[in-house]
Chains A and B, each alone.
Chain A
Amino acid sequence: MTSLLKRIPELTLLIVGTIVIYIAMGLLSEVNDTNILSADGAWALVVGSFLMSLVIAIVAVLGGVGGGVLYTPVMLGFTSIDSLLVRSTGLVVAMFSGLVSSGPFMRKGLADIRIVFYCAIPIVIGAMLGAQVAIGMAETMGEEGDAIVRLLLGLILVFIAVMFIMGGSKNEYPKPKHVDALSKKLHLQSSYHEESLNKTIHYKAVRALPGAILFLLVGFTGGFFGLGGGWAVVPVLNLVMAVPLKVSAASSGVLLAMGNAAAIWPYIMKGALIAVFAAPWMIGQVIGGILGAHILSKINAGFVRNILIVLLLLTSIKLISRGIEGYFGIDIPII
């Protein structure tokens, strides 16, 4: 840890800065008590959000998913916070660890800038559409819309959990048998240095068109639910487009950051992102994103992945039950 802080002075500054501001905010608070929240409660909410964001960022990096996959379902399932606010803050959670990891991944040559830009167009368009539909739905459908969002998100979580359970089919170095015409035309081929083998790996991405269509869907889902889409980007790049696993994982964060950056503007401009609530989540993601990327090799990622599967399944049960309760007006006694 000490060597990490020495190697990345900006991380030291961020950690020290965060500790100083939260102490200052606690000691010099001018925030008043309300009927719902005391001044101390407001401070605890902010600091608690920061700590939760830090943990989510680290777990998300180790589990190989975006933070939004954990944040949005848990908040929608277990709190009464408005679903549009949860989803807009979910995009902050989903994107900032990806944003801050873009630099190191690009410098190491792990993320493929050409694949990132090619896939960015459908993912950005999908994400913007998803955000617009989410805002429109909140304005017109109210609580019924919220119930539908919870129900659909619960079902998506079950799908993601099943995908994780069957996740053994990932291919570290896919070798496509046939390169389609579009991929050939785009020259989606590159190479990277694989540290663990001390060798340069050459690869050719294929199925450029199905990949683009899937990224449009991934972008829409991410923008609509505030999930990000880390759970889907790696499988599409690796299993559909035959991009090596390491390049897929590194490109995924960069790609998501780009897609979510487009999705979040409509939320910001409509006032659906409340700064004082979102700020600790952002700070936690930035610090946790840097930390998570650096401790990745020292922790058993399989164990974290199993915890993630259990969490996703439990949250999906709660979301589906709340969705059914809200939509059909019936009471399902689940904690």
Chain B
Amino acid sequence: MIKYPGEHYWPGYLGNVFVILAFVCALAAALCYFLSTRSRDEAENWRKLGRQFFYVHSLSIAGIICTLFWMIWHHMYEYYYVWEHSSNSMPMKYIFACFWEGQEGSFLLWAFWHVVLGNILIRKSKDWEAPVMTTFALVQTFLASMLLGIYISGYHFGSNPFTVLTREFPQFANMPFVKTVVIENGEKVNHYLEHLDGRGLNPLLQNYWMTIHPPTLFLGFASTLVPFAFAIAGLWTRRYKEWQKPALPWAFFGVMILGTGILMGGAWAYEALSFGGFWAWDPVENSSLVPWLTFVGGAHVMLINRNKGSSLFFTFFLIILTFILVLYSTFLTRSGILGSTSVHSFTDLGLMQPLLIYLLFFIGLALVVFVNEKKWNLIYTGIAATCFLAGTLFGFYKEGLALFLLASVGMGYLGARNFPGEKEETESMWSREFWMFIGALILLLSCFQVTFVTSFPVINKLFGTSFAIGAEGAIKAYNRWQVPFALIIMLLIAVSQYFKYKKTDPKEFYRRMSFTFFVSLALSLTASYLFNWFQFSVKLEYAFLLFACLFAILSNLSYWLDILKGKLDHAGASIAHAGFGLLLLGALLSTSRSQVISQNYKNDVSFLGKDYSNEENILLLRNDTMRMGNYYVTYLGKDKEGIRIRYKVEYMKKDSLTGKFDSLFTLTPFIQLNDRMGNAAEPDTRHFLFKDVYTHITFPGTAPEEMDFSGDYGEPHNSKVKPGDTIFTNNSIMVYEGMQPLTDTSGLRGRKDSVAVGAKLKIFDFYGKIRNVMPVYTLVGNSPKVSETVVDELGLKIAFWNVLPDENRIEISFSEKKMNRNDFIVMKAVVFPFINVLWTGCIIMIIGTVLAIRHRLKRA
């Protein structure tokens, strides 16, 4: 390996020592905790040792993180990760964003949260520590291995954040744009680092969302591990019920954090990306939603089990599935398998195999503790090992995978058969647990539907098929199932609190439900009538969903106010459920009633077929005023600020009496110049209490690279005109009205042989404002003298430079500022009504969940 001057090696060595230490200590901690769980006499010693290893592991993870931050802070571009994700010009407020922009950094973030949660559990989980921390340490072993970046029999295993740039790409330092040769002591030395700048953080990610969204989401992912580890521990030590007590608050904590993380992603998409909404059923969005659905189901089934003792199997199933789905999501989004189907999938860094192994390992682990019989476990482990070897060493991927999955199904069957008997007791339909169970089933089905459709790329890879779903098709494919599922969930949320555990009196139930039922029925009927939803059978489901949302909100509120007497102690669930109802209500209203107002009135394209009339874009010339929905809009011009080209769009309303335009607000959507992802349009949104007006540029008149903000004038255009002729410029119309001899030739004092004529021009701009100008043509003797007339507001320069008396014409030339050229935009504007209901619901849901967790911790 060639060394170059200026490269720092110690941070890399240090970082790699931490990586290896983190990996080895996690493995050792897992082993010690494992032995502690198994051993009778030495349990305490092993546990202590395991704890020490986990502490060292925690410190190592912290060490990796600090080292990487240090390197980014000091712009050490000799390191690949630093060069790739940061640059000199990047403001340091984005240091967090650039830290977790890449795969390695986001794995570190995830590992960091596991370390935090693990350390809390070491302190709090008492006799559960050893079995729970075994799983934690195992997960950390896998995560740390992703950072090793070593080669095992030809496979690149993981991706190391401390890779030296010139080692990964030996030719890099000799590339012409970095090579800096200096003669030192008669020898040529390449100081390539001297002028090297990093590639920088993707401009699209340079906003505060990138600072807050990933940590929240990863804390959510990390917190699915806690109930999972407890569930595994419960199966392993055959304490099938006791594990739930410590795990339950964690489950709801995780539901809250993961839900918040997902919604932050939605808010980011809505605020800063030109998705045109907060949810697009994008595969990456889906893969964070899917574990949340089972997590919600699992947490609620835990409540059933705690209160009534049934549905034990289902509890294990959902909690374990949640973590497995987190791993599956990780596999989907980071292995590169999604390819072009998603706007924000990671690129393939050779993580496909490790991630798959990671996923399959934990499926296997769950099944082993589930069956918990030595004989079968040995057979299964044997099969799994064979499949692993067949897949990795001999290339029998599909065969190995198929055999493993077959064996896993077998294990699942065995485990279910031998699962400690649940009381075979049919639940009454008049009990809360029955309907909670149904709710969890619906969530599971909903999760299955999303997973299945999102997994098309995986199915294609496995079976050689070529299924695909288009962007618009996807929304239909998901909504047709998810809307009815949401409807059932909402109805269940509305009624289930009014059911008591075990047995409910039907009369009492009807009496309590009827008021909110009829109020929400009346409200939703009225609203649906006003929205014209009854006229289309497709929209009928909106009407049903609207009713269900209102019913859920009102009955949870009334449960809180009426039955709980407005006390906050037990109100967590009611408030959280009402919040969730509001959230879905907001989603329903804003999506179903959203209105693309930027229709193209001028050009009829409907003859192309109704499927294709994608009339969502409007063309605006500069200073041209067009009607758009209830507004009139004018494109006022553009300016450049850093990497942003900002377009000023004024929204106005027309006074019906005077016909004058009154300015309402101005939006500045912009185009971000992004050499990494291509230029990206970012929207601007005006928020009102009851609606949002959302605007983004779909096409800039001039390509951003060719725009000129210098104020220079372009090529002159020449026209021969006779009186009454019109000359068109980019943003005005000039009418030539005729010549006028000028007697005042004061500028030419003393010259009797001078003649001057003016050309009377009337200039109309797109505001309707009229300017009269008169460029002058002078003859001094026989030589013409031309002066230019400048109209600053229009960026226009006019010269009258020749008279053609025979044709009764004159010659006029004009030139315009270059920035005027093609100065138009094509933009899209959407009105989202009631989107604030969605955000309010989100906040109320979080408050409710916090109350519920607090209450549960107080009772514990």
The answer on A and B forming one complex is no
A-side residues, CB < 8 A to B, are none
B→A interface (CB under 8 Å):
none
